[in-house]
Amino acid sequence: MEHSDTDADVVIAGAGPTGLMLACELRLAGVDVTVVERLAERTGESRAGGMHARTLEVLDQRGVLDRFLAAGELQPVGHFSGLYLDFDESESRHAYPLMILQSVIERLLEEWAAELGVRVRRSAPVTGIRQDAEGVTVELGTDGGGTAALRARYLVGCDGGRSTVRKLAGIGFPGTPATMTALIGDVELPDLTEEYVWVRRGPGGDYSAIAFEPGWFRVITSDYDRVAGSAEPATFEQLRESLVRLAGTDFGMRKPRWVSRFNDAARQADRYRQGRVLLAGDAAHIHFPAGGQGLNMGVQDAVNLGWKLASVVRGRAPEGLLDSYHAERHPVAERVLHNTRAQSALARPGPQTEALREVFGELLVFDDVNRHLRAMLTALDVRYPADCDHPLAGRRVPDADLKTADGATRVHELLRAGRPVLLDLRGGGASAAVAAGWADRVDVVEARSEADHWSVPVIGEVAAPAALLVRPDGHVAWAAAPDGPPGRAALRTALTTWFGPPARR
Ligand SMILES: Cc1cc2nc3c(=O)[nH]c(=O)nc-3n(C[C@H](O)[C@H](O)[C@H](O)COP(=O)(O)OP(=O)(O)OC[C@H]3O[C@@H](n4cnc5c(N)ncnc54)[C@H](O)[C@@H]3O)c2cc1C
């Protein structure tokens, strides 16, 4: 075995959206990171075609959102199993879904990673792992058919739904099997006279043809009469046959850029951490792509894990902090699996489902129903367990307008460096004094809120707090109400829980 001279604090397996986002988060926190990727180059294929509000917010938190907005197109509506949902600008500055191809998302993330100094090693599939008390040895295949090894303190498997890392770590992947087959391909459709076709339903399934760029369409067909074997290749001919079955024509389909297959299998890793090995993104959860949530969830896994892993690697927090990653993110994916199972049940052909869809469509007219579903799909309603009874505790912090001594800013802008922020909105310095022992880790900002009330998805208006502690991922660890007790003991507990013990004087 050829021995590698490269060691890293963290090795990430997989340069997909999750692995790249995690690498950026770790580098922002000063961690030495290497991404190892099985493929020699990016495929240019795009399974995902959109990003939701919370993902746009986390990119904004890091100051890179403009790159993504410039490369995509905002959509005024979204959908739940093909039934339209409205979005509401009061819930987020970036309420509307952004249509953007996964290949573009990956390119932009890889460019940002390069700027931050992330090493990406391609043609380097993970083939084996060995853990011990100090670290993990990651065995890799090499171009010439040989093997190499990298030594790291932690390994994160972001290597997709068929994750080798998950299997090698012996982590279970229970769930429900596929009950249908869907094909996706980017093709030309010269005989299609409509601008696009959106979830046209028939007796055997449904099809869509969505124009992403002038001249070519993304065709998706869903057949509910068959379940393809996982080793069966996906071909252009199968896509054509499926479209003819469902639409009665192939619209002159030609020039495939790529064709792939997916289904409604829904599975989730039973542990997100096994010692020094962690999982994120599709490696930790797979599901029917209804509502476009998978890539979004992987990016948000990365943003939850990044700062925690960085704190542990840099010796600022105990290893137990890593267990909060499973505790917080496993239930989020569990809920997404649940809503995608509901969406695939609503998509199944047949008179009973048609009736159910009609009733469901009638319910969507009600604001509360719309609000509930869009908060779920956009992940704006995610609330992590928090030891604080303020209504904002555990939720993502609203991006309120602020005034500081230096001028106007926004809450999300304060998170650019990926560091925790203690925001003192009343002045007086009481909470800043509590945080003095964490001055090396926590930024204290004194500001005034421009609004008396902040709009929070699902719960509505909340009085602007007197002070709040925001984690690097944008979730509120602690908050004090303007008319409540200062809660200094609770603040001290939150600081210790999330950012380790105070520094010795
Ligand atoms: C039709 C379709 C439409 C979708 N639309 C959306 C959408 O609109 N919005 C959304 O949020 N999600 C959507 N998704 C889901 C989204 O594509 C995935 O959730 C997303 O790609 C997951 O990213 P990832 O980085 O976790 O995994 P992947 O994108 O699968 O990346 C894994 C990477 O790991 C590499 N790898 C694999 N094995 C190894 C190994 N042994 N060693 C090293 N590297 C390895 C792979 O080559 C790959 O680069 C859609 C999915 C499908 C099928």
Strands laid side by side in the 467-470 sheet: 443-446, 421-424, 467-470, 476-480
Computed over every residue of the chain, the mean pLDDT equals 94
Half-sphere exposure for 143 (CA within 13 Å, toward CB): 5
CA–CA separation, 187 and 236 (whole Å): 9
Q: What's the helix, strand, coil split of the chain in %, to 5?
A: 30, 30, 40
Contact present, 502 and 495 (Cβ < 8 Å): yes
Predicted confidence at residue 505, as pLDDT, reads 63
Confidence band, pLDDT 50/70/90 cuts, at residue 504: confident
Tens-place pLDDT, residues 281-319: 999 999 999 999 999 999 999 999 999 999 999 999 999
Q: Identify the DSSP state of 233.
A: P
For residue 102, the ligand 1 atom closest to its alpha carbon is: 17
**CA 146 – CA 143 distance, rounded (Å):** 7
Confidence band, pLDDT 50/70/90 cuts, at residue 223: very high
Q: Is the CB of 18 under 6 A from ligand 1?
A: yes
CB neighbour burial string for 32-46, b if at least 16 within 10 angstroms, e if fewer: bbbbbbbeeeeeebb
pLDDT for the residue 215:
82
How many angstroms separate the CA atoms of 349 and 199, rounded? 12
Provide mean pLDDT across the span 34-45. Answer: 93
Tell whether ligand 1 has an atom less than 6 A from the beta carbon of residue 159. Answer: yes
Q: Check pLDDT > 50 for residue 148.
A: yes
Concatenating the DSSP letter of every residue in 185-199 gives EEEE-TT--SS-EEE
Residue 160 Cβ < 6 Å to ligand 1: yes
Residue 490, both tokens: 């609770």
Mutate-to-test residue for ligand 1 from 143, 210, 272, 282, highest number of ligand atoms within 8 A of CB: 282
Residue 295 C-alpha to ligand 1 middle, in angstroms? 7
Give me the half-sphere count of Cα atoms (radius 13 Å) on the Cβ side of residue 234: 21
Stretch (H or E) spanning 179: none
* Whole-number pLDDT of residue 5: 43
Instruction: Report which of residues 183 and 3 the model is more confident about.
Output: 183
> Residues 63-105: pLDDT tens digits?
999 999 999 999 988 899 999 998 888 899 999 999 999 999 9
Percent of the chain exceeding pLDDT 70 equals 99
CA distances for 71 relative to 49, 74, 103, angstroms = 12, 10, 11
**What is the pLDDT at residue 47?**
87
Amino acid 214: pLDDT: 83
- Mean pLDDT in residue range 37-50: 90
pLDDT of 329 > 70? The answer is yes
Identify whether the C-beta of residue 183 lies closer than 8 Å to the C-beta of residue 39: no
Our answer on whether the CB atom of 46 is closer than 6 Å to any ligand 1 atom is: no
Letter for the amino acid at 457? P
d(CA 473, CA 334): 20
What are the structural domains of the chain?
Answer: 7-175+267-378 (3.50.50.60), 180-262 (3.30.70.2450), 401-499 (3.40.30.120)
Tens digit of each residue's pLDDT (9 = 90 or more) over 118-134? 999 999 999 999 999 99
Question: Biggest alpha carbon distance in the chain?
Answer: 76
Q: Nearest to residue 416, comparing CAs of 21, 61, 67, 93?
A: 61
